[in-house]
Chains A and B, each alone.
Chain A
Amino acid sequence: MATTMITTLDRSSRAAARGLSDISIRNLFIIPTVLFLIVFNIFPLIYSLGYSFTDFRASTNAPANFVGLQSYRDLLNDPYVWSNFAITAKYVIVSVVGQLLVGFGVAMLLNRDIPLKGLITTLLLLPMMLSMAVVGLFWKLLYDPSWGVINYALGLGNFEWLADPKMALYAVALTDIWMWSPFVMLLSLAGLSAVPKHLYEAAAIDRAGPFYTFFRITLPLVAPILMIAVIFRTMEAFKTFDLAYILTSQPTAELISIRLYKMAFQEWQTGRSCAMAYIVLIMVLAITNIYVKYLNKVKER
């Protein structure tokens, strides 16, 4: 019964009464989406690939000259760009690992019968419902050395979280961890609650220790869903812009997306920034592919 409802039209429905067939309804839903994707995603993607081989500047009326791979060559030889990539890598590792530890830890704590569990879970999800820009502005106030709550609470005096070149990137990562750990927690909770209870019972009968149970039962079974969280968070962390842009202007915290924004919309080096965007795209694709391969392996086990 359920399958027939999904695949064919209910004869008594208004759509059927108007003579719409299954196929036309399917098209009605899919074609606009596909058109939207082509116009706003695929077309600009291909068009910008063309621009990346020119010295086009959107701010002038001068025609674009074909320069071949010049932009790619210059960018990959630019020490600043490499330092932007190194900063981004550091940021991604710190923030994703932090989110995994915090998110999974909180999920483990919540995965039992405690009073007000639903309310606590909902409250913990609040940070990720806020806008990135708003979180950035809030945390800028929290980190403020003169009147910020963080220094006051931790008794750090005038410690300069965002003005200290060594600390700024970690301060941004910390904010990101605060904001997105709930996301990892949510996925982990789903994974944890799907682990069959009888496995734990069997382990208990065999007198397995808590560590053994965790590493041999819980982790392997939650791993696939945890991998999905890692993929999502890595991609998101790789393209972090608003949070870092609002919080700090330290060159030691200049992520690749901020460099790209400056190149494209402040310096108007349109051709070169297209090339840069492609370099970033290829990197994200490569990293995601490694993850997906690994995810499939984990699933096979």
Chain B
Amino acid sequence: MRKLVTSVLAGIGLTLACGTSVYAQEKSLTIFWAEWDPANYLQELGNEYEKETGVKITVETTPWSDFQTKAFTEFNAHGDAYDLVVGDSQWLGAGSTGGHYVDLTDFFKKHDLGNVMAPATVKYYAEYPGNSGKYWAIPLEGDAVGWSYRKDWFEDPKEKEAFKAKYGYDLDVPKDFKALRDIAEFFHRPDQKRYGIAIYTDNSYDAMAMGFENALFSYGGELGDYTTYKVDGHINSDKAVAALDAYKELYKFTPPGWAKSFFVEDNQAITENLAAMSMNFFAFFPSLINEASNPNAKNTGFFANPPGPNGDQFAALGGQGISVISYSQKQEEAMKFLEWFIKDETQKKWAALGGYTCSQAVLKSPEFQNATPYNKAFYETMFKVKDFWAVPEYAELLQQLNQRVYPYIIGGSGTAKETLDALAGDWNATFKKYGRGQ
């Protein structure tokens, strides 16, 4: 019995000791993000901050597939588990109008971030509603869709000769969407288990939308007018119809079973010798130049999303801004961290760690552009990106896009015009339901 009492007492003592040591370090911040490499880089950056200030930064992560659900469950419950969140660009509407994000307009103006950060990142990661001058996030991780390709396949003299004979021009990094299609067709050889191209097709979140947007924006099409919410004549315009057909055409040259693919599968297409070209967010390119994760690292090249038939060149925007959560008990501490984060030298460190900075000064510096084989393509892309709707009901709009576009691209049902007309109808109804732009 005495032994038991002693051990219980010892246990209580130990718990108290641990408790007090946690207490001693009360200055800490928790940042919530998705589980991927940039989150690890942010943790490293956070460790630097701890060295300088003594405030401990913890980056908590969850897999991409339930990032949105988990974050909003916490917001909806007004929980203070996280002090900051690196939220997806589409969340701005829901985060700001739902009262989950702290208004950062004054902070933004005080530090003139509108001119410090690249314009597209300010517009899509920070401002809501569009052109309102109200800011809810600090651009943290710039991202957009680019392409990787097999340099060794492209540079093979035999392939070059055969390509020129068939298409009448030189095999090279595609100059436009037509060349992209031709090269995909050229390398599509199912009998050799080699395929032309890897694109996004997953319809569970925004993969399909991001993939289709690359074609849509470069063809000169638009999703709609972001200030008036008018979609007729935009999403179902002739340009948009041509873009949808172009994207469907690319699907013909994908590896077998390519009907639920997103960033993991598209990187596998390169590492597993499946495809000649692969669409992916720049954030996933670091693992492609790493020989440990890509046996073809030396033979992998990169290019920006090519222009469409009229010379327009845009790409779908990914990336995230960092926001302060309004239920956090440590908002002041969080603001101090943001002040440190936007400093030029911090942004340089962030880029050196592997983060995609949005700071114009760093982006334009030659040392950034020459640091990796894809940084230059990233810099070029970040000044011509467009994003999906950021209204609070964006998830419904995404779902409607998936419901209409997926069966057309994968299942081949209906025509492109019918598909996009129906989508315009769905979106009109949704905007009407929420009283927008009527």
Which of B73, B257, B406 has the most A CB atoms < 10 Å from its CB?
Answer: B257
Give the nearest-CB partner of B272 in chain A: A146
16 residue pairs of the A-B complex, CB under 8 angstroms, read A58-B76, A59-B76, A59-B98, A60-B392, A145-B257, A160-B257, A163-B256, A163-B258, A249-B406, A251-B411, A262-B399, A265-B73, A266-B69, A267-B393, A267-B396, A268-B94
B76 touches A249 (CB 8 A): no
User: What total count of A-B pairs have CB within 8 Å?
Assistant: 80
A266 touches B258 (CB 8 A): no
B392 touches A59 (CB 8 A): yes
A48 an interface residue at 8 Å Cβ cutoff? no
Known contacts A60-B94, A158-B190, A249-B203; A163 and B410 CB within 8 A of each other:
yes
A265 touches B69 (CB 8 A): yes
- Collect the chain A residues with CB atoms within 8 Å of residue B109's CB: none
CB distance from B110 to the nearest CB of A (A): 27
Q: How far is the CA of A235 from the CA of B204 in the complex (A)?
A: 25
Q: How far is the CA of A148 from the CA of B207 in the complex (A)?
A: 24
Residue positions of A touching B, CB distance < 8 A? 57-62, 80, 144-146, 158, 160, 162-163, 165, 248-252, 262, 265-269
B329 an interface residue at 8 Å Cβ cutoff? no
Encoded as 1 (CB less than 8 Å from any A CB) or 0, chain B from 65 to 101 comes to 0001100110110000000000000000010011100
Give the nearest-CB partner of B75 in chain A: A59
Give the nearest-CB partner of A258 in chain B: B204
- Collect the chain B residues with CB atoms within 8 Å of residue A265's CB: 69, 72-73
B205 an interface residue at 8 Å Cβ cutoff? yes
Q: How far is the CA of A262 from the CA of B190 in the complex (A)?
A: 35
Q: How far is the CA of A162 from the CA of B203 in the complex (A)?
A: 14
B260 touches A248 (CB 8 A): yes
Q: How far is the CA of A146 from the CA of B68 in the complex (A)?
A: 31
Encoded as 1 (CB less than 8 Å from any A CB) or 0, chain B from 232 to 262 comes to 0000000000000000000000011111100
CB distance from B260 to the nearest CB of A (A): 4
- Collect the chain B residues with CB atoms within 8 Å of residue A268's CB: 72, 76, 94, 395
Closest 7 A/B residue pairs (Cβ)? A163-B259, A145-B257, A145-B256, A60-B98, A267-B395, A158-B256, A165-B411
- Collect the chain B residues with CB atoms within 8 Å of residue A267's CB: 393, 395-396, 399
B257 touches A146 (CB 8 A): yes
B15 an interface residue at 8 Å Cβ cutoff? no
B257 touches A163 (CB 8 A): yes
- Collect the chain A residues with CB atoms within 8 Å of residue B410's CB: 163, 165, 250
Q: How far is the CA of A57 from the CA of B97 in the complex (A)?
A: 12
Known contacts A59-B75, A165-B411, A249-B202; A266 and B257 CB within 8 A of each other:
no
B290 an interface residue at 8 Å Cβ cutoff? no
- Collect the chain B residues with CB atoms within 8 Å of residue A62's CB: 97-98
B260 touches A163 (CB 8 A): yes
- Collect the chain A residues with CB atoms within 8 Å of residue B203's CB: 249, 251
Q: How far is the CA of A296 from the CA of B420 in the complex (A)?
A: 53
Which residues of B, 389-438, contact A by the 8 Å Cβ criterion?
392-393, 395-396, 399, 402-403, 406-407, 410-411
Which of A59, A160, A269 has the most B CB atoms < 10 Å from its CB?
Answer: A59
CB distance from B277 to the nearest CB of A (A): 18
- Collect the chain B residues with CB atoms within 8 Å of residue A251's CB: 203, 402-403, 406-407, 411
Q: How far is the CA of A89 from the CA of B101 in the complex (A)?
A: 43
Q: How far is the CA of A158 from the CA of B285 in the complex (A)?
A: 29
Q: How far is the CA of A146 from the CA of B260 in the complex (A)?
A: 14
